[in-house]
Amino acid sequence: MNTPDQAMPAIAGANATLSTHKKYFGMGIMLVLLLALNAARAEGPDDDYLAVYGIIDQADTLSTSGKTSEAYAKYVEAQRALVAFQKNNPGWNAKTVSYRLNYLTEKIAATSGKTAAMETGPATAAPKTAAAAPKSPVKLLANGSEPRTVLRLHPAAGDKQTTIMTLKMGTVTSVAGQAMPAMNMPAMVMTMDITVKDVSAAGDINYELVFSDATVAEDTNIQPAVAAAMKTSLASIRGLTGTGRMSDQGIVKSMEIKLPADAAPQLSQSLNQMKESFSSSAIPLPEEAVGPGAKWEYKTRIKSQGMSIDQTLAYELVAVEGDRITLRSTLSQNAANQKIQNPAMPGLKVDLNKMTGAGTGSSTYDLTHLMPVTGTLDEKIGINMSMNAGQQKQAMDMKMDMNITLESK
């Protein structure tokens, strides 16, 4: 019988064994967990860089297609955006930014000749045409009723919170057209301790975080082998520490997670890829003054488990009582036509055909703290993918029902 860390065998027949199911479970649990942690994610430097990289990718496609003048315009746009990014995030991965700036200088020269290269100047110099100031990622749709106020996070240095996140999900999977037994998983319970270290004059909040516990709830209806596999995976999260910086508008500016020496390599890769997700419970707040009934929208592209996902979060301000606000939210996610390099199963090649997610939630915040007082999200996720297992290509469909609750004290 193959063990869960071996290469996935070809699936034949309708009766899948638990051993085979656990192979797919390894992928599914990581996909859903990391998607869940992204559900309310505020935009950070990684997302800004990915947006610039998207422009570069468009320029490369145009150049390959022989559309030189259009490619040149895109390369110049990317250079301006990257110079602005470098100015706003001087400490973010300097080698990568420098490499891309040099790459853009070469591409601009190749698509426009020496004149274009002279006009754009050295890669490290700002272009002559100043880049437009970045727009707020939050779009206000309705101001709400009077009285209105500007909502901003304002915790004090030394503020401490313990936040417990509980994730419950059920999964239905079919492989090569053959349905596998439905799998209800025990609730995953993660405890995070957050301490505000200092607050800058501009309102940026520097904090430390510790994952003091990560386990699964006892559930007699869950197969013991499934619960044991989840406990083993979650054990690597326990003890994680990190530092972060968030604006008073709820926008993540930086996040670093320090992994323990005994962390499982596969989980380490996943958490490194998703390090900013662990500060995701803060919501993006609108710049404008708002009152009860106000609505705003936040669109972004996130990276989760090797997937690029277009995400839209919509919020409605239900009530304001001093520093305490109550919100309703809806979530939609879409992704298609991309290859996934899954750290949970590095030997497996996966092509994502389609991913959709839709959810509703509610939350209560005290703006004198970073994390929500309470919060809940119910989401349904559908994933269709193809996998190369050995010499065979298998189609796989996963449908997941997920519930997340947050409580802070």
- CATH code, domain carrying 335: 2.30.230
Read off the pLDDT of residues 218-268 as tens digits, 9 standing for 90 and up.
887 777 877 787 787 777 778 888 888 888 988 878 777 776 665 555 555
User: Is the pLDDT higher at 22 or at 324?
Assistant: 324
pLDDT reading at 23 higher than 70: no
**pTM of the model as a whole:** 0.64
Check whether residue 302 and residue 156 sit in a common domain: yes
Check whether residue 75 and residue 217 sit in a common domain: no
Check whether residue 282 and residue 366 sit in a common domain: yes
Total of domains in the chain: 2
Check whether residue 229 and residue 182 sit in a common domain: yes
When pLDDT is cut at 50, 70 and 90, the band that residue 9 belongs to is: very low
- Assess if residue 379 is contained within a domain: yes
Check whether residue 111 and residue 253 sit in a common domain: no
- Assess if residue 33 is contained within a domain: no
- Identify the pLDDT of residue 37: 39
Read off the pLDDT of residues 119-160 as tens digits, 9 standing for 90 and up.
444 444 444 444 444 456 789 999 999 999 999 999 999 999
Q: Give the 3-state secondary structure of the chain.
A: CCCCCCCCCCCCCCCCCHHHHHHHHHHHHHHHHHHHHCCCCCCCHHHHHHHHHHHHHHHHHHHHCCCHHHHHHHHHHHHHHHHHHHHHCCCCCHHHHHHHHHHHHHHHHHHHHHHHHHHHCCCCCCCCCCCCCCCCCEEEEECCCCCCECCCCCCCCCCEEEEEEEEEEEEEEEECCEECCCEECCCEEEEEEEEEEEECCCCCEEEEEEEEEEEECCCCCCCHHHHHHHHHHHHCCCCCEEEEEECCCCCEEEEEEECCCCCCHHHHHHHHHCHHHHHCCCCCCCCCCECCCCEEEEEEEEEECCEEEEEEEEEEEEEEECCEEEEEEEEEEEEEEEEEECCCCCCCEEEEEEEEEEEEEEEEEECCCCCCCEEEEEEEEEEEEEEEECCEEEEEEEEEEEEEEEEEC
Q: Which domain holds residue 168?
A: 142-408
Check whether residue 72 and residue 192 sit in a common domain: no
Check whether residue 165 and residue 292 sit in a common domain: yes
Check whether residue 150 and residue 127 sit in a common domain: no
Read off the pLDDT of residues 24-70 as tens digits, 9 standing for 90 and up.
333 344 444 444 434 333 345 666 777 787 788 788 878 877 888 88
Check whether residue 127 and residue 182 sit in a common domain: no
